[in-house]
Amino acid sequence: MTDAKTILVVGTYDTKDDELGYLTSCIEGQGGKVLSMDVSVLGDPSQPTNYSKHDVAEEGGSSIQAAIDSGDENHAMQIMADGAALLALRLYREGKVDGVILLGGSMGTDLALDVCAALPLGVPKYVVSTVSFSHMLPPERLAPDIQMILWAGGLYGLNSICKASLSQAAGAVLGAARAVEKPSFDKPLIGMTSFGKTVLRYMVTLKPALEERGFEVAVFHATGMGGRAFEGLAAEGAFACVFDFAPQEVVNHHFGSGITAGSDRMTNAGAKGIPQLVAPGCYDLVDFVGWMDPPARLAGRPIHAHNRLLTSAVIDTDERREVAGVICEKLSGAKGPVEFLLPLQGCNEWDREGADLHDADGLAAFCDGIRHSCPGNVTLHELDTHINDAGFSAKALAIFDEWVAQGIVKV
């Protein structure tokens, strides 16, 4: 097959030689090619790999002996993770690999997350792990397009159970490498955060309007992983501008919810100097897992059960002032322009006057908190409208158009 795709197979060949060999045979059996990378420290594979553990450690500026001498398995594997991430990225940039598959338990998965995070969006990256989907995997370490499969029955040695996972993963990564349509970035990209149209609706107006202006618009579902993808791309400088109108993940993280995009939510665009239009969509809600009891701090609050997976609790007046300060602090370090749109009539469909979660005093307290805490680098616009009304979207477009005219947003 002249257009055969090459998959980088990564793992500890000293302990998982058979499993990694089986993965290789599955990929090659479907017409793919394989390059192998050993990230072991102590032992050696039964057969040489394309990239040895020494190659990996040296790529990261260290050595296997340094890893061994550390006397600490965590430190040793971080040496290997640094080298593996750099080597995988170099191989991709040199056109030698089209995708990567990594195999491991908790130790191997820790390394795998670094490798996947180092590779750009659109490079197929597949992790076969005994801890896939576990809460021990922090959102901020997950690449925007990482794929995972639970490696059932795969802790030690091959068997028919774990072969089912391994063979699926081999087919998935090779199929992805053949089918992927990588981002072209031939138009400047706008990153926008939102929720579904039942609660936030501005994207229905803004997306086509921005597309008519020659921009591509990506709308991220701000329920933890969507915000993580948004932040990951912002950190890469992928956006010409952001419309960060649903920063509820900041609130979730502040209240200790497991539905979080990480501690760096609402900071990466600013760190890159990307122009930011910001609004406080759903600032008054804390999401928690719907099939679990609410966190103790939120017990007894008014709630909205969105579905069996997701429930939102309403924060009180004092907490809204607190949230205003947290959001403003996030924006204070921005290196690029920031304009904050504050809708005085409400920030989600459920808090309109007459709606179930409306709280006029709470909204007023939040608005006062924003006025008081708004940093000097942020321009505040108070809008006598609701976030879902036409006036809000019109103001956002007016500011954006001015930025384009001034060359702040590059066309």
**Percent of the chain at pLDDT exceeding 70:** 100
User: What type of residue sits at position 142?
Assistant: L
Indicate whether 20 and 140 sit together in one domain: yes
Tell me the pLDDT tens digit for each residue of 115-142.
Answer: 999 999 899 999 999 999 888 888 888 8
For position 156, what pLDDT does the model report?
Answer: 82
Name the nearest CA neighbour of 79 among 102, 63, 92, 97: 63
Residue that finishes a domain, picked among 145, 161, 179 = 179
Q: Which stretch of DSSP H or E encloses residue 125? A: strand 125-129
How is residue 338 written in tokens?
């920031």
DSSP string, 175-202: HHHHH-------SPEEEEEE--TTT--H
Residues 209 and 149 both lie in one domain: no
Q: Where residue 34 falls among pLDDT bands split at 50, 70, 90? A: very high
Whether residue 411 lies inside any domain: the answer is: no
Give me the DSSP letters along 7-33. Answer: EEEEE-TTT-HHHHHHHHHHHHHTT-E
Question: Higher pLDDT residue, 306 or 213?
Answer: 213
Is the domain of 372 the same as that of 241? yes
User: Is 21 exposed, middle or buried (CB count within 10 Å of its CB: 0-12, 13-18, 19+)?
Assistant: middle
Are residue 173 and residue 198 in the same domain, yes or no? no
| The pLDDT value given to residue 113 | 97
Q: What is the pLDDT of residues 358-373, one digit of tens each?
A: 999 999 999 999 999 9
Same domain? For 397 and 254 the reply is yes
Residue 370 lies in a domain: yes
> What ranges make up the beta strands (E) of 187-337?
189-194, 216-221, 241-244, 276-278, 285-289, 303-305, 310-314
CATH code for position 129: 3.40.50.12020
Q: Same domain for 113 and 194?
A: no
Provide the H-helix boundaries in 11-98: 17-29, 53-59, 64-69, 73-93
- Answer yes or no: is 184 within a domain: no
Residue 2 has pLDDT above 70, yes or no: no
Q: Band of the pLDDT at 225, cuts 50, 70, 90?
A: confident
pLDDT computed for residue 222 by the predictor: 93
Q: Identify whether 356 is part of a domain.
A: yes
Residue partners of 294: CB distance under 8 A and separation at least 6: 288, 301, 303, 311, 313
Taking the C-alpha atoms of residue 72 and residue 74, their distance in angstroms, rounded to an integer, is: 5
Average pLDDT, the chain: 94
At 276-289, the pLDDT tens digits run 999 999 999 999 88
Domain final residue pick, 117, 149, 179: 179
- CA dist 40 and 118 (Å) reads 20
Convert the pLDDT of each residue in 376-391 to its tens digit: 999 999 999 999 999 9
- Is pLDDT above 70 for 262? yes
- The reply to whether 210 and 131 lie within a common domain is no
Do 120 and 223 lie in one domain? The reply is no
Q: 229 with 117, same domain?
A: no
Angle between helices 317-331 and 360-373 (to 10 degrees): 30
Residue 203 and residue 318 in one domain: yes
**Residue the block writes with tokens 């419309």:** 243
Question: HSE on the CB side for 291, CA within 13 Å?
Answer: 2
**How many independent structural domains does the chain possess?**
2
Residue 334 zone, left/alpha/beta (φ > 0; ψ -120 to 50; rest) = beta
Q: What is the pLDDT of residue 32?
A: 97
What is the extent of the structural domain holding 195?
Answer: 189-406
Q: How far apart are CA 256 and CA 279, in angstroms?
A: 22
CATH assignment at residue 227:
3.40.50.12030
User: Domain boundary at 127, 153, 179, which?
Assistant: 179
The model carries a pTM of 0.85
List phi, psi (to 5°) of 304.
-125, 115
Q: How confident is the model at residue 1 (pLDDT cuts 50, 70, 90)?
A: very low
Residue whose tokens read 């608005």: 367
The answer as to whether 222 is a domain residue is yes
Tens of pLDDT, residues 244-253: 999 999 999 9
Note whether residue 146 is domain-resident. yes
* 236 and 344 belong to one structural domain: yes
Q: What digits encode the pLDDT tens for the residues 298-326? A: 888 888 888 888 899 999 999 999 999 99
